[in-house]
Structures are given as C-alpha cells and as structure tokens.
Amino acid sequence: MGDSHTWTAAPTAAEHARSVTAAAWSCAVTSEGGKEEFLGAHRVEADGGILLTVPEDSGLRTAALCAPRGEPAAVLEFADVAPVPVRARIRARLWLAGWFTAREEHLLFRPTRMVLRRASGAVLVDLDEYAAAAPDPLAEAEARLLTHLADCHPDAVERLSRLMEHGHLRGAVRVRPLAVDRHGLTLRVERTRGHGDVRLTFHRPADDVAQLTERIHVLLTQAARACGARALPHVKGNGG
C-alpha cells in the first residue's frame, strides 16, 4: 500500500472488527455443544469468514454432526487485549452470531450479526462493510511494536505525553502505549484513581512499520516544540 489512502482519525468499526479477528490468538465459541476456547485454531478468509480447526472430540464438532443440515448455530467471541500491561487490558470485545458449515477437516463460520464493544460503547457492525474491509496493516505487528516502545523507549512515551492537553495529565502516575493502528497512537494515562486514554493522530496513515516509524518521529518533533511552550508534571513512561 502507499500513502494515497484517505486520511481518517481512526479505523471504522468494520476495520476494527477485521483487525481483532486477524490478530487474536484465542476464540471462544458457544454452541449447543457448550462453550469452548480455541487457541491458535482460526484463520480469517478474504471475505471475513472464520475458518476453525476443531479437534475430533470437540463438542462443537459433535454439534455440527447433529445439527439440521449440519449447520449449527454459534456465537464467537474475540477479545482485543492490550499487549502492554495496563489497567483494564481488554480494549474491545467482538461477538459474532452465525452458522458453521463443514469444509473438509475444518468448520467455516459465516456471521449473521456482529457487535463490537469498545470503551465508547457497543456498535452493530454492518456485515457488508465487514466483508469488504481489510484488517489494519499494523494489526499483526502491533504487539511487538507496542511492547518495544514501552520497554525500550519509555523516554519517547514520556515525550509523546507532552502532546496531550494539560488536563489529561492531572494526577497522572504513569503513561503507557495502549494501541496503535495506521491512523494513530493511543496512550493510556493511569492516575491514582482511574485512568483515561488519549489518541494522537498521525498526519498521514502508515501502511507499514517504516512509515509508522516516520509518523512517530513527526509526533516526537511536535512534542519537542510543545515542551518549549509549557512545563509539564513528570509522569512515568514505564514501570511503576
């Protein structure tokens, strides 16, 4: 991809949902066979369908054999978990209701309803938009990128916090990187009581790690200018 994509402040709900399914390691499935947790067992098809590898002794496989037409109804749940240790690490949850059909040794799930719950509330994801959306190009690298930023560059996190409005840092005891996508970086501000999130939007979307590095450098340059304009309380970028 290039830099020609339309600039937006954040991913759409459909894009976020595709990113969650693409990057998640675990998937919880509830069907007539009960609730089961599958680890590293799913992959996402180009149209957004979920292909699941199911053990022979799985209750879900039994339900597929016993269901009318071999298409058991089920609900899939994915959790979007922050890779960096922070308070309230689950950033979002995605629920997909639909049907499984057999495909060779796998089960293919087709959603009929999808709900994404984020800190801002729950939203019903349009299925056509979900099928047409692509996961964020940084989604599968996000965990590595954020842990590297938190563990190896806490000074950069502290400098980036200077881009926040002064009120966001009032009472802050620690600032940690919470999320990153092609449109921006989100920082978690932890206070003695409670926490809040602040999003720093890139001047242009980043389609790969090299572009992301450049976008972060631009933010750091802006932060250096902000530092000269006002003094800020000291907050920790890493550790406790």
pLDDT tens for residues 135-187? 999 999 999 999 999 999 999 999 999 898 877 777 788 999 999 999 999 99
Tokens of 45: 């098809």
Q: What pLDDT does residue 192 have?
A: 84
In this structure, what are the phi and psi dihedrals at residue 21, rounded to the nearest 5 degrees? -70, -35
* Stretch 83-90: mean pLDDT: 93
CATH superfamily label, 139-229: PNP-oxidase-like (3.20.180.10)
Lowest mean pLDDT among 102-111, 127-136, 165-174, 190-199: 165-174
239 falls in which pLDDT band (50, 70, 90)? low
Q: Over pLDDT 70: what percentage of the chain?
A: 90
Phi-psi label, residue 70: left if phi above 0, alpha if psi -120 to 50, beta otherwise: left
Check whether 240 has a pLDDT greater than 60.
no
DSSP state, residue 18? H
Q: What pLDDT does residue 219 have?
A: 95
Q: Which tops the pLDDT comparison, 57 or 49? A: 49
Q: How far apart are CA 220 and CA 160, in angstroms?
A: 6
- Give the chain's length: 240
CATH number of 13-132: 2.30.110.10
Q: Quick one: which of 135, 132, 111 has its CA closest to 51?
A: 111
Q: Where are the domains of the chain?
A: 13-132, 139-229
Provide the whole-model pTM.
Answer: 0.85
Q: What pLDDT does residue 168 have?
A: 77
208 falls in which pLDDT band (50, 70, 90)? very high
6 falls in which pLDDT band (50, 70, 90)? very low
* Stretch 41-56: mean pLDDT: 93
